[in-house]
Amino acid sequence: MKMHVLSRMLCLLSMVAFVAGPLLAQRPVMYSINEAWAFSKAGDAERIVSFPHTWNAVDARDDEPGFYRGEGTYRKQVHIPGSHRGKTVYICFEGANQVATLTVNGREVGVHKGGYARFNFDITDYLHWDRDNDFEIAVTNAHDEAIPPLSADFTFFGGVYRDVYLTVKERLHISPTDMASTGIYVATPQVSETRASVHVTTLLNNGFAREVGATVRHTVYDPAGAVVYRTETDETIAAGAANHVHKAVFELADPALWCTETPQLYAVKTTVTDKATQRPLDEERTTFGLRWYRFSADSGFFLNGRHVKLVGTNRHQDYLGKGNALEDQYHVHDMRLLKAMGGNFIRISHYPQDPLVLDMCDRLGIVASVEIPIVNAVTERQDFLSNSLLMAEELVKQHFNHPALVIWSYMNEVMLRPPYTSTDAAYQSYCAEVNRQALAIERRIRTLDPARYTMIAFHGSMKAYADAGLFDVPMVIGWNLYQGWYSDGFHHLDAFLDQYRVAYPNKPTILSEYGADVDTRIHSFQPERFDFSVEYGDLYHEHYLKTIRTSDFLAGAAIWNLNDFHSEPRNDAVPHINSKGITGLDRKPKNTYHLYKAFLTTEPFVKIASTDWRSRSGAETAPGVSLQPIKVYANSDSVTVYHQGEALATIPIADNVGEIDIPFRQGENRIEVRANGVSDGCIVDFAVVPLRLGSDFTELAVALGSKRHFDERDTRTAWIPERPYAQGGWGYVGGEPYRAKTRFGQLPAAALNILGTDLDPLFQTQRVGIERFKADVPDGRYAVYFYWADLRADAPVEALAYNLGNDAIAEAAGERVFDVVINGVPVLERVDIPRQVGVQRAMVKKCLVDAYDGEGITIMFSPVKGQAILNAIKLLKVN
């Protein structure tokens, strides 16, 4: 009878709770406050923005050098409901670059330094309940000697570029204030096939002015969702306690292991209740995985006792048109893209990223390394080190529970830009300081997490890192190697690795970066270093992949980079962009993505290279035919290639690559490849450029001083490389291709941002001293377009550290003034490009020309001062 009454009462109580609403809040509440902030910077008018937001999405890509680095302010009225009264309210930032100051209702709450970590503030005492509250966030991305990174090959986009949310908790709660971790740390110090030991540390904050007795319960769910363990203990938490430590240690039998193929995840639900009233206070869900692993200096990486070759990419957190301000789905999509390629490894470079990145690694089975942003150099100051240590602590505490994560990393190419040359007296003490800072960070990380490995990524100089004594500090050596890109010859990679193995045979090693810039609009059948062609990038990766497969000591390799990314000072084929991604800024896969997919996946796979090159052209090689090679990537031994529906040949596939010449004909060419029951096809619109121009002539677009094809996508204009004039055909007479000079040699194209155009590659090459351009076109009216840019740097361009001496040297070539005479008529007199538009700026001149009586078009360039130049030319038959 009594029981009955009690249960009825309970039932009634819970109905009351339901109706009353607030009493229902047994779980902590968390919601984003991203929307509608009034933003202003540098005296600009306020405008409304939402997080994620950066103020540099546009100015990091425009023609003005530099981008805004200074303060920006966000203001908003945040309504705090009355129901939050009596609770603890935190504001949590997933990331703001790089120093953020929060003010609530006119009172400064706190400051956070560092652009890539999560942070939060307890704002309870600053709030007015049931009212609007003034929030102001001041952020600056100004250079700061004390905060890493000092410099780097990526754009330091400023702003609140990740989510911001409020978390509302009961006064006694699981702590979010230990470096903005979740307050729960799950360690798995011993895991085997048969059992796993699990240590769960829970941190509790008591916001009450009295001691509280609480019950802490852990419920452990296996990957199938079944409860496999429960534990509960009572704790007495002192008044006002912060980060009171509660520990639970237990074992799980027959663990379902986390691995890259079957990334099985356990979850622990942690609840805290008031011991006296049994009122629920807080709750947190933590996923974890059970696995063990080791790195060997000779034989690489082992996961759960099984050898796993780690192959994947690095990743930067930006996207076309958005800068670094990406909504969640972009992060998720990137990780899916990596997994779909067959990648089982990511080096999260050069800084911690959105929390979803590691969440996805756990779920998809991608082994990860993550690092703090010490790049290129350190500042020899204690405040730089203390900020680095703070970042290291945030790093470990915020990402501690991810089973995917096996490496903490903390310096990238830190000897690339020492402030002194190695002969300078100060160099020795700089090296000692780098060593001291590295040791301090290493110790801090290993104290916080004795289980994982540590890594430092070196650039290709063994001496520099020996000078700084860094071979002895981290557990794994990462090599960022660019032989064949920043220096000649892919094979120097192999020579370098051999030397390294002899010098340091006992260090586990990862190829932490390697890559080549590719602008997918550029193609070449004579590819060379720094031409930015698709074909050169393909050759580079084909070579590196072979080395990676056959080097057993290499535990893993991470391509530089998953995606093209912003690097404002770069003046490459796509200015302001580092285009070493195997996908574009828009994540469209490049050939190399497919090459790796062919290597890494086991499902039958076949892919034609460069299917995005849909408008091609080429000089006639036999009557009506232009023979051009295509590549195929596959994981079969051979593939059969079809052209216009008919089998052309069955070609062998070696190391996942095959190649065949296609006899392209004018118009639509259908190509298909088949192997192992799968196929890939594409349609190429081909213009055969006849050696003798016939009556069907329509258009000719030629890149001068260049071996490159350029695919002008929007208008499907196929630019072809220059050739010397031959009777009945077309081409140049006289002159030399321009080669940009560097400290060590030459580059095939100028490394200049050509102002006023997006077709930079067309302007970055030129023929110097050209005498004539001739085309034996049929009679008619033609539009002739001259593409010009003066490629001399007017001021010495700042050297890019990563270019390792490949920067073009400013040259003074003297004045260049010339006349242009078309079919005997002086059409353009005294062309003087710097005077007309300035240097490094695109100028396109259009002239209408009528050709009669088989005279064709003859363009004479006659110098008045210096030599004549031409960057590109297009002839279009008008009527």
> Which residues in this chain contact ligand GCB in the complex, by CB under 6 A?
152-153, 412-413, 459, 480, 513, 560, 578, 580, 802
Q: 413: which 2 tokens?
A: 């190419």
Closest to ligand GCB by CB, 151 vs 215, is 151
Closest to Ca ion by CB, 754 vs 777, is 754
Q: 190: which 2 tokens?
A: 């011993």
Q: Select from ligand GCB, Ca ion, none the partner in contact with residue 388, using the beta carbon and a kind-dependent cut-off of 5 to 8 Å.
A: none
Helix, strand, coil tally for the chain in percent (to 5): 20, 40, 40
Q: Select from ligand GCB, Ca ion, none the partner in contact with residue 680, using the beta carbon and a kind-dependent cut-off of 5 to 8 Å.
A: none
- As measured in angstroms, the least distance from the Cβ of 224 to ligand GCB is 42
Closest to ligand GCB by CB, 580 vs 709, is 580
Radius of gyration of the chain (CA): 31
Cβ neighbourhood burial of 823 (10 Å; 0-12, 13-18, 19+): middle
- As measured in angstroms, the least distance from the Cβ of 631 to ligand GCB is 24
Return the bridge partners of 412, or none: 375, 457
Closest to ligand GCB by CB, 88 vs 578, is 578
Per the CB < 8 A criterion, the answer to whether 811 and 738 are in contact is no
- As measured in angstroms, the least distance from the Cβ of 578 to ligand GCB is 5
- As measured in angstroms, the least distance from the Cβ of 460 to ligand GCB is 9
Measured CA to CA, the distance from residue 113 to residue 120 in angstroms comes to: 12
Q: 63: which 2 tokens?
A: 């023609």
Q: Where are the beta strands (DSSP E) in 208-292?
A: 212-221, 227-237, 244-253, 266-274, 280-288
Directed axis angle between helix 534-550 and helix 492-503, to 10°?
Answer: 30
Closest to Ca ion by CB, 711 vs 760, is 760
Per the CB < 8 A criterion, the answer to whether 709 and 721 are in contact is yes
Phi, psi of 22 (to 5 degrees): -50, -35
- As measured in angstroms, the least distance from the Cβ of 565 to ligand GCB is 8
Q: Select from ligand GCB, Ca ion, none the partner in contact with residue 480, using the beta carbon and a kind-dependent cut-off of 5 to 8 Å.
A: ligand GCB
Q: Select from Ca ion, ligand GCB, none the partner in contact with residue 476, using the beta carbon and a kind-dependent cut-off of 5 to 8 Å.
A: none
Closest to Ca ion by CB, 686 vs 763, is 763
Report the SS3 class of residue 462: helix
How would you label 514-526 residue by residue, b for 16+ Cβ within 10 Å and e otherwise?
A: bbbbbbbbbbbee
Closest to ligand GCB by CB, 116 vs 802, is 802
* Per-position DSSP letters for 529-594, written without gaps between them: TTS--HHHHHHHHHHHHHHHHH-TTEEEEEES-SB-EE-TT--SSSTTEE---SB-TT--B-HHHH
Distances (CA, A) of 693 to 169, 171, 708, 849: 79, 84, 22, 17
Closest by CA to 654, choosing from 641, 637, 639, is: 637
- As measured in angstroms, the least distance from the Cβ of 519 to Ca ion is 12
Binding-site ranges for Ca ion (CB under 5 A): 754, 760
Closest to Ca ion by CB, 170 vs 760, is 760
Closest to Ca ion by CB, 511 vs 754, is 754
Closest to ligand GCB by CB, 288 vs 500, is 500
- As measured in angstroms, the least distance from the Cβ of 797 to ligand GCB is 16
Closest to ligand GCB by CB, 273 vs 583, is 583
Residue in the structure block whose two tokens are 């039958």: 604
Closest to ligand GCB by CB, 152 vs 473, is 152
- As measured in angstroms, the least distance from the Cβ of 840 to Ca ion is 9
- As measured in angstroms, the least distance from the Cβ of 532 to Ca ion is 14
Distances (CA, A) of 82 to 34, 132, 144, 320: 21, 11, 41, 42
Closest to ligand GCB by CB, 515 vs 737, is 515
Closest to ligand GCB by CB, 488 vs 637, is 488
Q: Select from ligand GCB, Ca ion, none the partner in contact with residue 580, using the beta carbon and a kind-dependent cut-off of 5 to 8 Å.
A: ligand GCB
Measured CA to CA, the distance from residue 506 to residue 515 in angstroms comes to: 26
- As measured in angstroms, the least distance from the Cβ of 538 to ligand GCB is 17
- As measured in angstroms, the least distance from the Cβ of 843 to Ca ion is 13
Q: Select from Ca ion, ligand GCB, none the partner in contact with residue 867, using the beta carbon and a kind-dependent cut-off of 5 to 8 Å.
A: none
Per the CB < 8 A criterion, the answer to whether 186 and 200 are in contact is yes
Per the CB < 8 A criterion, the answer to whether 554 and 513 are in contact is no
Per the CB < 8 A criterion, the answer to whether 454 and 410 are in contact is yes
Closest to ligand GCB by CB, 334 vs 513, is 513
Measured CA to CA, the distance from residue 312 to residue 596 in angstroms comes to: 9
Q: Select from ligand GCB, Ca ion, none the partner in contact with residue 119, using the beta carbon and a kind-dependent cut-off of 5 to 8 Å.
A: none
Residue in the structure block whose two tokens are 């574009």: 584
Q: Select from ligand GCB, Ca ion, none the partner in contact with residue 156, using the beta carbon and a kind-dependent cut-off of 5 to 8 Å.
A: none
Cβ neighbourhood burial of 8 (10 Å; 0-12, 13-18, 19+): exposed
- As measured in angstroms, the least distance from the Cβ of 760 to Ca ion is 5
Closest to Ca ion by CB, 441 vs 750, is 750
- As measured in angstroms, the least distance from the Cβ of 178 to ligand GCB is 31
Residue type, 375: V
Residue sitting closest to ligand GCB (CB): 802
- As measured in angstroms, the least distance from the Cβ of 576 to Ca ion is 9
Q: Select from ligand GCB, Ca ion, none the partner in contact with residue 764, using the beta carbon and a kind-dependent cut-off of 5 to 8 Å.
A: none
- As measured in angstroms, the least distance from the Cβ of 478 to ligand GCB is 10
Q: Select from Ca ion, ligand GCB, none the partner in contact with residue 169, using the beta carbon and a kind-dependent cut-off of 5 to 8 Å.
A: none
- As measured in angstroms, the least distance from the Cβ of 535 to ligand GCB is 19
Neighbours of 53 (CB within 10 A): 24
Per the CB < 8 A criterion, the answer to whether 61 and 576 are in contact is yes
Cβ neighbourhood burial of 382 (10 Å; 0-12, 13-18, 19+): exposed
Q: Select from Ca ion, ligand GCB, none the partner in contact with residue 513, using the beta carbon and a kind-dependent cut-off of 5 to 8 Å.
A: ligand GCB
Cβ neighbourhood burial of 789 (10 Å; 0-12, 13-18, 19+): buried
Q: Select from ligand GCB, Ca ion, none the partner in contact with residue 153, using the beta carbon and a kind-dependent cut-off of 5 to 8 Å.
A: ligand GCB
Measured CA to CA, the distance from residue 647 to residue 684 in angstroms comes to: 17
- As measured in angstroms, the least distance from the Cβ of 438 to ligand GCB is 17
Q: Select from ligand GCB, Ca ion, none the partner in contact with residue 568, using the beta carbon and a kind-dependent cut-off of 5 to 8 Å.
A: none
Residue 646 CB partners (closer than 8 Å, separation 6+) = none
Closest to Ca ion by CB, 61 vs 397, is 61
Measured CA to CA, the distance from residue 47 to residue 74 in angstroms comes to: 10
Q: Select from ligand GCB, Ca ion, none the partner in contact with residue 520, using the beta carbon and a kind-dependent cut-off of 5 to 8 Å.
A: none
Q: Select from ligand GCB, Ca ion, none the partner in contact with residue 459, using the beta carbon and a kind-dependent cut-off of 5 to 8 Å.
A: ligand GCB
